[in-house]
Structure formats: structure tokens, C-alpha cells
Amino acid sequence: MAPAFSALTLFDVVLCVLIIGVALCSSSVRDLFAATVLLIIYGVFVAIAWVRLGAVDVALAEAAIGAGLTGVLLIGAVARLKITESPAAAVSRWQFAAKVIPASLGLLIASGLAYLVLTVEWRETLQAPVLANLPDTGVLNPVTAVLLNYRAYDTLLETSVLFAALIASWCTTHDDLWGERAGLRQHTRRAGILATFGRFLPPIGLIVGIHIFWAGADKWGGAFQAGTIFAAVWILAIMAGVIDAPNATGRSIRSFAVAGPMFFTFVALTGVLAQSFLIIPVMVAKPLTLAIEACLTLSIAATLMLLVLGAPRRSA
Amino acid sequence: MTRALPLLVLSTSLIPACLIFFLAEKSARMRTVINLSGAIAKLALVAIMLEGVRSGATYEFRHTLLPGLELVLRVDPLALLFLTLSAFLWFLTTIYAIAYFHNGKDLSRFFGFFSLCVAATTGIALSGSFVTFFIFYELLTLATWPLVIHNGDQASISAGRRYLVYTMCGSALLLAAIVWLESLVGPIEFARRNALAGLDEWTLRLAFALLVAGLAVKAAMVPLHGWLPNAMVAPAPVSALLHAVAVVKAGAFGIVRVIYDVYGVALVDGIGVGLPLAVMASLTIVYGSLRALQQNDIKRRLAYSTVSQVSYIVLGASLFGPYATIGGLAHLVHQGLMKITLFFCAGSLAKQIGVTRIDQLDGVAHRMPLTMSAFSIAALGMIGIPPIAGFISKWYLGFGAVQAGQAWVLLVLAASSLLNAAYLLPLLARAWLRSSPEPTSEKRNPESDRWLIWPPLITAAAALAAGVFAGFVYSPLSWATLIISETYTP
Amino acid sequence: MLLDLAAPDFPWIALSVAIPLFAALIAALSSALAPVVAMIAALLCLGAALWTAVLVTTHGAQEVAVGAWPPPLGIVLRADGLAVAMLITAGLVSIAAFAFARQAFSARTQTPETRSAYSFWPLGLCVLAGVNAAFVSNDLFNLYVALELTTIAAAALVAMSGSRAAFEAAIRYLMFALLGSLFYLLGVVLTYSTHGVLDIRLLAISAESGPSTIAAAALMSAGLMTKMALFPLHAWLPPAHSAAPAPASALLSALVVKPPFVILLRIWFEAMPELVTPTLAQAFGALGACGVLLGSILAMRQERLKLVVAYSTVAQLGYLVLVFPLAGGGGAQQPWAAGAWTGAIFLTLSHALAKGAMFLAAGAFVEARGNDRLDSLVGLAREMPISCFAFGLAAVSLMGLPPSGGFTGKYLLLTSSFASGQWWWGIVLVVGGLLSAVYLFGPLSLMFAREPALAVTPVSRARQSIALLLGLLSILLGLFSEAPYRLLQVDRPGAAAEGFT
Amino acid sequence: MNGSIPFALCGAVLVGIGLYGVMAHDHLLRRLIAFNVTGSGVFLLFGSLSALSSGGATGAVPQALIITGIVVAVASTAFVLALVVRLKEEDVDAPAPGAFEGSSEHDDHAP
């Protein structure tokens, strides 16, 4: 079908090639820092791909979380590990086998998937019911409707995963550092660039975040995307020395992290009044959904911020 | 009542077992009270059932494990034969053990497992289905092992390991055979005979071989007897339990059940597996006696004697004649009475005057006359001197063999009796006829503890009585006749 | 009436997820309250599960459409016999683990708050919530999230002790588990894209076996097999389960490896039974058999008790997949249907109880002796009879000796193997039992030995009794197996009785 | 040719590349990077298959599932990184030669 091969298709193909190229580079480059930066670039490209697939919500999430947050986490880790290169491995027969087996497995799975992509007739049947029931959900963005209404239970468990990951990474603290502030103590010069950024950026970030949060109900965005931006703002403010890094034993930061899932679980539990679970009544659907989202955004922001800062570390 | 009785009789040893485990080590009196009241209650219940069963009653308890698979406790004459023996001997062994372990260590544990052993034996006796039998058979293995290694030294632990290796492998064969048969015909109950009719001959033969191999381990038949002589490192009451009350008897009893209630005599005869089994039993009888001759350690000699004697039961069951079977079943009881007497006495000798080897026996009878009298009665019975119980068994076995057209068994019996005499009489001769190498004036009378004296005297008397009053209705012989008359005249 | 708690459609199973989740959040707020909250939550979970069992046996399987959205749009939680039995087991094991953990991880006894006393409770509760969610969920993607919740909390429990070995074990565990998750997720993606549904029941109706369905099933199975440590993907398990503190090990070995198996059963037996070919079923069985043999042999070679127990988990998990070749292997002779399927689940349940008991007993030994080397066990039969007894009871169940839940399970599997003429799996079962006797009686023998005398730190009788109760339960499961059997038959999948044809 | 086929194929290739990396790399961080590549490959495949069948745009349900997946992935990544950093600190405190690089090397080839 020649006419379909338009300029946009060409763009798509080039984008795909770029994505694969960056992924390969990121996977093969020896320098760990470079690999991490490549992963961030990769994430941005993938986010563009999501836009091309008409999935703006995913694009935002990929950009904010997949590229941004993961990148920051990795860079932080690379910095802390103080090694930038994975050592050249001694080549032995074992090493050879250790490469050949994964390579053939990867090739097998990739080609198998490609074969399936091209031959199977795929089905997407849920879009119609999603849209048909949208008025009952109180939101206009179908993705938000799925996340916070149709499959809100997934989201409940997902916020629990974040919560578990937070406690889990706190669990890696040195016993004698328990109660110290998270991460390495930052030393920022008051007049430095970071400090200046740290004063200017947070208000802008807050506004962007609130917008994405608000837009999530109707167009695109939502708790996860907004929460990530708030987390970024928060971290920036800490790095700039505007506010102190939190302390894992602090009551308020724990409350921040827990409030969202707790409110969510509470709402879920009220469902038993209707002999069911996690019911969002149509009458109060919009305000209730917004309330849940607001609490979740807050907790996601706090949790992601804490995850990025990591456990309290000894300043070497 | 008919439902509750089997469960009650099981709980007379199961409940004491559970209670004793939780007793503090130092509450010796409480332990004794619980033990003995359990044993006495059991004897009382057994007496009730003896009377009931003789007048034709059956007692049955059922508990569903899975749909169609039931735990069945059923009192029939054969069950009661074994049950009575174990209940009676448990009572005496408990008394003996309390005296033997006076001021010992880990006694709550010991008596807990001891009672558990007896509970398992009771379960084996009463089991009315193959799965029930297996459950209690395994429970017996598990409960005996801590007793075998009770001393906790290297020798005990390696004896325990050997015991487990043999019995676990045996149980694995047994389980495989049971499940194999049950996968073909559904869960097997002993009361429903002819369940296996119609199966392929070779399946039946192979399953029979597996079953007998599994059971022969506990019955200590050659070549699966290796664990038994080693296990004599355990304390004397444990040896009594292993050799007379519980373990080897459980194996022999199982073989009898398989032949009479699972396969049925006709089927066993039909597939021609009786003769090989009889030959195996005969080999065991002769081999055990020959090995016994070579031992210098008293308990070891007695252990090999058990290897030999228990196979009389199997021999009787595998010959199919009514008389041979009666002889075998009666021997189940007779051997128990005689062998426990011998082990009680050997234990007393070791504990009171430190005699464990045959060359130390010189003149012992003058120092411990009562003990050695009991020992002598039991030993003579083993040889088959009338009118002691052992004679009755051998007589019936020999008569039955001739009746079944297997006269060669007479040769086995004769050889065995000669060998029995050869390995037991020298002990008696040394003890009674020789004089002690050292002066016998001891500060303390070695027979001062009457609780070590009475149990062997009672069992010896019982062995004598079982022979003298063999015609009495509750004698082992009469009871065995009752069992067999039911089998042969359905 | 506002709340009709006795109504057959009251969403008890949803509570068994929500309650521990809520409790985890409270525990994260206040470490002083945490032990009490955790215990209350576990008790409530058990209560809810038991009551659901009553409802389910009388009224049949129960469904809760979350948010009142029926599938395919919404997610359905489903209480069939299998799910409820697993919920009860999870409740029992977690009660025991939490009760045992109270002393070591109580914030009251440790001021200021310590790292482990704080983090144990939320993580333990997350594990409970995660496994419960996985047991009741009927939605493939939701199961993915539930598995991830379990994995992350479980890996953190592995790292809890803060030793170098613990961190290494946790990282290795996560690497395997995340790889497994990716495979599983890929399978879910293919399933959704092929059939447009994620609900297992709906999938059963709509599934026709095209190449993408086969690929999806294979990928999901590979992922789940990694997470349940089936041979040859077992290498992560022993270091992880032995590095964790005792109550955490109990949760890990008893519970965390079970949801992948349950999901595996659901995928193959409920959603896509027609995909299973005889070769595939035999291949599953072969992996299981290898797991049994290798796990047992490695367990024999260990010199630390917790490693013995952990390798035994590898072996025991191998038995479970024998259900694939043996399912439907019964004849008209057997008075029960679905023998192999029920037997495998009996093994799952009794393994959970017995392994929980065994790790808690091992924890008591470690507290008493200061380490878990086998030669430190000498003399414990006298010093800690309760724990030794607990270990012994658990060992009986693991060896499959009667009377125990392990025996019931093994008997059912063994019957199926002989009845279907596949005696080779029967040999695996029997030999596996003998091998487990070798590696379990070894430690038991040492406990009975008397020399040399070693120093002992006393452990309270009450805490030792916790393991004893769990061990006793694994025995009672075999003695009173009729009620559990009936429960498991509620809404049993057709393939469980008929086999894959 | 449908517009989303390139993305679906791209997703398939990314899964392959990522899986290779997860299994073949020695260094934990590199594995983690590969893990993230695999994840986004799976998601891309998911989204484009949905777009493929519904004619252009990814459906709402796959989008929501993908967002959930992305969050779960970042949570796991954060935890693994915390562990890796802590393990490194252990090495700094008490250096054990070669322990860090080889920590999960030997048996991991199996998958």
C-alpha cells in the first residue's frame, strides 16, 4: 500500500531506528555514565514514539518517570559507586557461552515477537466500553477513568508497590545511620547557580505540576505524571538548600508518603457498604476521584523524592 | 460403644504420650501415674473386647480421610491377638522401664515416644484398611527412632541411622505396592476379601514381592535384618519393645495380614508365592541361629535369636495348612513372652552387675537367682522344651507342615531347635553350673529392686502358662485356633 | 441492614487484601503500634478466610467485581476452593511469623527505633497483602502488580539482616524475579492483544490456540517458573531464603513462592487447558523431577541448617509441577476425581505450614546457639525439646510420611501416577521422599546427640510453641483432610479431573 | 502498512536487546539499564499492538496498564539501586576482592 508510506511513516521509521540505535549504544558502551545518559535520551525518544501512537498520557509518564526519574536514579547511583567503567572481563570459554546463550535467546524472542506482530490478527475490544461508561466515572480522560475507576484496584496495588519500594530502600540504611537525613548532605553555595535555579524553578514546577494534575482528569496527565514533577521540584529545592532533606524517622514525611494509599484504601474499604469493593459512586465520582488523585499525587511526590534521595549515607 | 472402643483403646496410649511430652523432667511421679493408668485402662478395655469378640461382636471406628479413603480401626480376632500381647507387655515393660531408668535423663521424652510406639502398635493391630496400616506402620518407625538413639552417643546414633535406612526403604517399597494395588482396585480394606481377584497374575506376584519386602524389613528377615543386631545398643526396655512388643511383630503381623486378608490364602496359593516365602523364612530361621552362635555379647546373641524366631510366624503363615498357621500365630505371642523375658533379664544383668558378655556369666545365677530362673524358663521355651510355650508353637508348625505336604520344614525345625539349644544352653550352663570367678559377697543385693525382678518373672510364668494351659479358651493357642477357624470356615 | 456480614456476596476476599495493606500503612506511620496492628490484621485475614471457606462450601465460588465493573472492563476477585485454601494458609503462617517476630522486631523494646524494627512490619504486611491479592485475583495484569508487590517486599525482607550476604542474596533474587516479571508481562501483553481480555475466566471462553496464545502461555509460564524457583531457575532461592531473619524466611518459603504456582495452575488448567500437549506435560514433570533430585542432593551437602531447609524448598516445589503430567490420571477405581490436582494443592498447603514451622524452629535454634551450623544443633533435643519437636513434625510432613498433609498430597499424586501408568513419576515421588529423609534426619540426629555440650541462650517456651503449632497443623491437615478436600473441590477447573486432552 | 507496525517491530527488537543485556552483562547497573530497555520495549509493543488493532491510537486500557507498569518498573529500579549502592559501601567498609563484580555472576547464566 504505497500511499500509506507518507512522510510521517518515514518519520516513524527513522524514530524507531534511532530508538534501537540508542538502546544498542546504551547497552554496549563501556562507560557507565554515558550508558545512563544514553538511557535518558532513549527515554525521550520513546516518549516521542508514544506521542506518535496517540498515547500522550504514556508519553508524559515515560518522559517524567521512564527517562527523567530513572535517569536521575541511575546517575545518582553511578556517582555513588564512584566507578564509571565496568571492568573489561577476562575472555574465557565460559564468558563466551555467557554471551552466546543470551544473544541467541534475545534473537529468538525478538524474531518470534516480530513474526507474531506481522502475522497475528490483534484485537482491542475494550475501547468501546471504556468510552461508553465514561459519563459514570466523573472524568473525561479515558486513561484516568481506567486508572482511577475501572481498574482502580490495579492503581491501589501499584501505589502499594511504590510504598513497599520506599520502605525497602530505607531498609538498606546502615543501622547506625537510621534517623539521619536522607541521602548525602548537600553543600550548596548560597549564590551558586544551583541555588539560584533552586529558588526560581520550584514555583514554575509547581504550576506545571498542578496543571498536569488538573488536566489529568479531562485531557491528559494525572497523579503519576504530576507527582513526578512535584518530586523533581522538591528534590531541586533540597539540593538548592531551600529546604532540608527529610528524615526517614520523621513523622511528617512518613505521613506524606502514606496519606495517598491510605486514603485510597480507605475509600476502597467503604465499598463494602455496597457489598462490593472500591466503588466510586456516580454521584460523587468527580470530587472523589479528584480527592483520591490529590492525595496520591502528594504521596507519589514524597515517595519518589525519597526514593531519589535514597537511604541516609555516610559522607565519606 | 462399638464405635468408640477401638478409638478409646488407641487413646489409652496416645493420650499418655501427648501428656508425657509436656511434663517437666523432674515430675517423675506424675509420669509414672499417667503411664500406668494408661496401661491399666488399656488392659481393662482389651479384656472387655476379648469377651465381646469371642462372643462374635466386632468393633469398628471409621474416620474419613478422603472420599472413599477411610481410617478404619477394626477389632477382629487377629487384631485382638496382637493387641492383647502388646497391651500386656507394655504394662510390664513400663514398670520395668521406670525402675531401669531410675534417676535417668530425658525421661519425659523417652516415655512419650515409648507410649507413642505402643499407640502405633495398637493402631497396626486394629487397622482395618491398608492405608490405616501404613499410617501406623510409619508412625511406629518414627516413634521408635528416638528410642533407639536415646543414649545419644555415637554408637546409638549410627544404629539409629541404620535403622532408618532399612525401615524407610522398606516403607517406600510398601507404600509403592499399596498405592499400586489401590490404583487398580481402589482403597483396600482387610474385611473385604477378594478385592484383588481378577488382577493380572504377574502384577499380583510383583506387588506381593514388594509388600513382603517392605514388611520383611521390620520383621528382620534375611537379608533385610541388618538393622536389628545393631539396634541392641539401645537401653534394655527399648530392646524389649523392638524384639517382643512392637517392631518385629508389626512386620510379621503385616505379612500375616497380607496373606490372609489382602490376597487371601487361595490367591496366594494360586499365584504360587507361598513356597518361596516359606523358603525365605526357613533360611532366615537357620541363618539367624547360626549367627547367634557366633556372638559373645548377650544382647547381640538374643538379637540374632529374634531374627530366627520371628520367621516362625512367617513360616506358619506361608504354609497355608490350618495347623501351621495356628502355630505361627500362637508363636507371635509365645515368642513375645519368651523374648521379652530374656531381654528383661539381660537388662537387669547389665544394669545391676555389669554383665553384658557371655564369658562374664559364670556363676551369675547364684548372685541373681530369680532373674536367672526367669531367663532359664524363657531360654528353655525358646529351644522348645515342653511344656513351655515354645514347644506348642513348634509342634503345631511341624504338624501343619506335614499336613500341608511340606515335610522338609520338619528338618528346618529340627535344625533350628538344635541350634537354639546350642546357643542358649551354654549360657544357662555357665550361669548355674560354674562358680563366679570373684567372691560373690556383694554389699548390695543385686536383686534388691523388685520392679526389675517382677516383670521377667511374670512374663516367664506367662510363657510357662501359655504352654501348660494351652487348652484354656483365652490361651494364645485357642485364640489362634479361633482366628483360623474363621478363615477356613467362612 | 447496613452491613450484611453473613451475606454470601459480602466481599470478604477483598478485605483479605485491603486489611493487610491498610495495616502496612499504619505500621509505616507508627512503629510502636506496628506489631499489634500486624497481628490484628493477620488474625482478621484468617478470620475472613475461614468465614469465606464456610460461605464458599455452602454457596459455591464467590466473585467480587471491584468497583462494580464486571470484566472485561473491570477486575474480578474470585474465591474458589483453591484461593480460599491458600488464603487460610497465608493467614496461619503470617500469624505465626508475626508472633515469632514480636520480640526481635518490637519498637517498644528498642528505643530509639531501629531500622529493622521499623521496616519489618510494613514489609511483612505487604507480603501478606501481595500474596493474598495474587490468590484471589482473576485478572492477569492485576496478578502482575500483585506479584511485584510481593517480590519487592520479599526482597527487602531478604536484605533485612543487613549483612553483606543478605544484600547479595537480595540483589540476586531481584534480578531473577524482575526477569521473570518481564517474561510474565510480555505474556500478558500478548494475551491481551490477542484476545482483548485479561480475565482468566473470559480467556477460557475466548481462547483459541493461535501462535500468539501459545507464545503468551510459554512466556507467562517461564516468568512464573522463575518466580517459583523451579529447576533450572532455582539458583536465587537458597541464598535468599537462608539470609533472611527467621520470621521473614518463614514468610518467604511458605508463602512467597506459592502465588506463582497458583497462577500457573490457573493459566493452564482454567484458561488454556487445550494448549497442553502430552509432551509439554511430560516436560513440566521432568523439570519438577530434576528440581526434586537436585534440590535434595544439594540439601544433603549443606552445612548450615537454614540452607538445608531452603534447598528443601527447591525440592518440594519440584513435586508441585508433577501435577501437569499426572492431572486426570485416575481411573474408575478411585473414589475421588482430580486426585493429582488436589494432591498437588495439598502438598502446597502442607509445605507452607511445614516450612513455616521449620524456619521458625531454625530461628529459635539460631537464637539459642548464635549460628545455624549443623554441628551447633548437638544437644538441642534436651535443651529445646519444643522446637525440636516442631522441626520433627514439619520434617514428617515434608517427607510425606503419614499422617500429614504431605502424605495426603503424595498419596493422591502417587495413586494418579500408577493409575495412569506413569510409574516413573511415582518413582520420583518415592525416591524424593527417601532423599528428604536423608537431609532431614541428619539434623534431627544431631539434635539427639549429647556430645559435645554447647552454650545455650534460652528462648521462651511460648515463642518455641509457635513453630510447634504450625508443625502440628501440617500434621492435622493430613488427619482431617476431608474438609480441606471438599473445600478444594469448590469450582475446580474441569481439566483437573479430566486431564489435558 | 499500518502506521504502528514500525513501533511494534521496534518494541520486539528492544525486548530482544534488553533481554540480552539483562542476561549477558556482568555489572549490575548495566543489567538494570537493560532491564529498563526491555520494559519499555514490552510497553511499546503493547501500545502499538493496541493502536494496530484499533486503527491509529493506543487504547485507554493499554495506556493505563503501561503507566502502571512504568511506575512499577521505576519502583523496582530504585530499590535495586539502593541495594547496589549499599553493597558497594559494604565493600568500601570491608573490601572483599572481586566480590562486587561477581556477586551475581555464576548461576545467572541459566535463564
CA C406 to chain A, closest CA, distance in angstroms equals 33
Burial of A252 (0-12, 13-18, 19+ CB in 10 A): exposed
Q: pLDDT tens digit string along C387-442?
A: 999 999 999 999 999 889 999 999 999 999 999 989 999 999 999 999 999 999 99
| Phi, psi of C139, rounded to the nearest 5 degrees | -115, 125
Q: What are phi and psi of A171, to 5 degrees?
A: -65, -15
Instruction: Give CA separation, A196 vs A184, A238, C291, C382, in Å.
Output: 20, 12, 61, 71
**Residue C310 Cα distances to B123, C237, C246, angstroms:** 34, 7, 12
Instruction: Tell me what pLDDT residue A90 has.
Output: 53
**pLDDT higher than 70, residue A315:** no
Residue C199 has phi, psi (to 5 degrees) of: -75, 130
Q: Are residues A76 and A206 in the same domain?
A: no
pLDDT band at B14 (very low <50, low <70, confident <90, very high): very high
Question: For residue A89, what pLDDT band results from cuts at 50, 70 and 90?
Answer: low
Q: What 3 state SS string does C155-210 have?
A: HHHHHCCCCHHHHHHHHHHHHHHHHHHHHHHHHHHHHHHHHCCCEHHHHHHHCCCC
**CB within 8 Å: D42 and C189:** yes
Task: Kindly list the distances between the CA atom of residue B417 and the CA atoms of B376, B407, B476, C103, D59, in Å, as whole numbers in the listed order.
Answer: 16, 16, 21, 67, 93
Is residue B232 predicted with pLDDT exceeding 90?
no
Q: How many helices (H) and strands (E) does chain A have?
A: 12, 0
pLDDT at A223 over 90: no
A125 domain-assigned: no
User: Which of A108, A127, A137 has the highest number of chain D CBs within 10 A, making it the mutation to test binding with D?
Assistant: A127
Tens-place pLDDT, residues B199-209: 889 999 999 99
- How would residue C23 be classed by pLDDT, with cut points 50, 70 and 90? very high
Asked if C67 contacts A276 with a C-beta cutoff of 8 angstroms, the reply is yes
Least confident of A38-52, A102-116, B189-203: B189-203
Does D have 3 or more CB contacts under 8 Å with A?
yes
Residue C472 contacts B, CB cutoff 8 Å = no
Q: Which of C434, C445, C481 sits opposite B168 (nearest CB)?
A: C434
d(CA C419, CA D4): 53
> What pLDDT, in 10s, does the model give residues C445-478?
999 998 788 888 999 999 999 999 999 999 999 9
The whole-angstrom distance between C295's CA and the closest CA on chain D is: 15
Share of chain B above pLDDT 70, in %: 98
CA distance linking residue A109 with residue D17, whole number of Å: 10
pLDDT per position as a tens digit, C261-276: 999 999 999 998 888 8
Work out the average pLDDT over D54-62.
86
Higher-confidence residue of B363 and A159: namely A159
For B207-249, give the DSSP string. Answer: HHHHHHHHHHHHTT-TTS-THHHHGGGS-HHHHHIIIIISHHH
Instruction: Compute the distance between CA of residue C398 and CA of residue C406 in angstroms, rounded to an integer.
Output: 6
Which ipTM was obtained for this model? 0.92
DSSP code string of B113-146? HHHHHHHHHHHHHHB-BHHHHHHHHHHHHHHHHH
Given pLDDT bands bounded at 50, 70 and 90, which one contains residue A307? very high
Domain ranges of chain B: 273-435+448-490
CA distance D55 to A190: 54
pLDDT tens sequence across A122-147: 888 888 999 999 999 888 999 999 99
The Cα of A63 is separated from the nearest Cα of chain D by a number of Å equal to: 11
- Distance between CA atoms of residues B278 and B259, nearest Å: 12
pLDDT value at A313 more than 50: yes
Short-list B66, B219, B145, B19, CA closest to C396 = B145
The answer to whether the beta carbons of residues C65 and C74 sit under 8 Å apart is yes
Amino acid (one-letter) located at C140? L
Please compute the mean of the pLDDT values over residues C135-142 and round it to a whole number.
96
Task: Identify whether the C-beta of residue A231 lies closer than 8 Å to the C-beta of residue A284.
Answer: no
pLDDT score recorded for residue D106: 39
Most B CBs within 10 Å: which of C334, C383, C427, C434, as the mutation test of the B interface?
C334
Partners of A268 on chain C (C-beta within 8 Å) are: 14, 18
Strand pairing category for C62-65 and C76-79 = antiparallel
pLDDT tier at B242, thresholds 50, 70, 90: confident
The distance of A127 to chain D (nearest Cα, Å) reads: 6
Judge whether A63 lies within some domain.
yes
pLDDT of residue D97: 44
Q: Is the dihedral of CA B361, B364, B365, B366 positive or negative?
A: positive
Percent of chain A with pLDDT over 90: 47
**Whether D and B touch (3+ CB pairs < 8 Å), yes or no:** no
Residue B317 CA, chain-centre distance (Å), reads: 15
| Pairwise CA distance, residues C223 & C220, whole Å | 5
The answer to whether residues B327 and B400 touch, using CB atoms and an 8 Å cutoff, is: yes
Q: B interface mutation test: which of C326, C346, C377, C415 has the most B CBs within 10 A? A: C415
Alpha-carbon span B383 to B421, nearest angstrom: 5
Give the residue with greater pLDDT, A39 vs A7. A39
Inter-chain residue contact B152 with C450, CB threshold 8 Å: yes
**Over 90: is that where the pLDDT of C92 sits?**
yes
User: What CA–CA distances, in Å, run from C230 to A197, A300, C148, C197, C221?
Assistant: 52, 35, 18, 28, 11
Same domain for A193 and A290?
Answer: yes
pLDDT at C110: 59
Q: For C266-384, where are the alpha helices, taking DSSP H only?
A: 278-300, 305-320, 323-326, 339-369, 380-383
Helix axes A285-309, A251-270, angle to 10 degrees: 150
Residue B443's Cβ-count burial label (10 Å; 0-12, 13-18, 19+) is exposed
Helix, strand, coil % in chain D, rounded to nearest 5: 75, 0, 25
Overall CATH class of domain D5-102: mainly alpha
pLDDT, tens digit, 9 for 90 and up, residues B131-177: 999 999 999 999 999 999 998 889 999 999 999 999 999 999 999 99
- Chain A touched by C4 (CB under 8 Å): yes
| B251-273 pLDDT per residue, tens | 999 999 999 889 988 888 889 89
Overall domain count for chain A: 3
| Residues B326-354: tens digit of each pLDDT | 999 999 999 999 999 999 999 999 988 88
Residue range B293-305: mean pLDDT, rounded: 91
Q: Which residues contact B127 (CB under 8 A, 6 or more apart)?
A: B72, B73, B74, B79, B133, B135, B136, B190
* pLDDT mean over B51-63: 88
Residues A61 and A178 in one domain: no
In this predicted structure, what is the pLDDT of residue D27? 86
Interface residue B183 vs chain C (CB under 8 A): yes
What is the distance between the alpha carbons of residues C440 and C399, in angstroms, rounded to a whole number? 8
Domain residue limits at A188: 133-316
Q: Which backbone phi and psi does C382 adopt, to 5 degrees?
A: -85, -40
Q: CA A173, CA D93: separation in Å to the nearest integer?
A: 14
- What Cα–Cα distance (Å) separates residue B138 from each residue in B141, B215, C394, C403, C436? 5, 11, 15, 9, 15
Mark yes or no for CB contact B66/C419 under 8 Å. no
More confident residue, A251 or D108: A251
Q: Across the interface, which of A119, A133, A164 has its CB nearest the CB of C152?
A: A164
What is the arithmetic mean of pLDDT over B33-41?
93
User: How many beta-carbon pairs under 8 angstroms link A with D?
Assistant: 279
Residues 6+ apart with CB under 8 A from A22: A38, A41, A42, A45
Domain annotation covers residue A2? no
Q: Note the pLDDT tens digit of each residue in C301-360.
A: 999 999 999 999 999 999 999 999 998 777 667 878 888 999 999 999 999 999 999 999
Contact C239, C172 (CB under 8 A): yes
HEC states along A62-128?
HHHHHHHHHHHHHHHHHHHHCCCECCCCCCCHHHHHHHHHHHHHHHHHHHHHHHHHHHCCCCCCCHH
Kindly report the backbone phi and psi dihedral angles of residue D58, in degrees, each rounded to the nearest multiple of 5, phi listed first: -70, 140
The answer to whether residue A3 is domain-embedded is no
Provide the terminal-to-terminal Cα distance of chain B, rounded to the nearest Å.
Answer: 26
Residue A157 contacts residue C145 (beta carbons within 8 Å):
yes
Tell me, yes or no, whether A144 and A262 share the same domain.
Answer: yes
At B82, give phi and psi (nearest 5°): -70, -40
Instruction: Give the residue among B286, B232, B225 at the shortest CA–CA distance from B252.
Output: B225
pTM: 0.94
Residue C144, classified by CB atoms within 10 Å of its CB into exposed (0-12), middle (13-18) or buried (19+), is buried
Is B184–C419 a contact, with Cβ atoms under 8 angstroms apart?
yes
Helix (H) or strand (E) holding B287: helix B274-294
| Three cell numbers written together for A274 | 455496597
Band of pLDDT at residue A161, cut at 50, 70 and 90: very high
Across the interface, whether the CB atoms of C441 and B152 are under 8 A apart is answered: no
C9 three-state secondary structure: coil
CA distance linking residue C34 with residue C21, whole number of Å: 13
Quick one: DSSP state of residue C276? -
Q: Is C495 part of the contact surface with chain A (CB cutoff 8 Å)?
A: no
Taking the mean position of all CA atoms in its chain, how far away is CA B258? 17
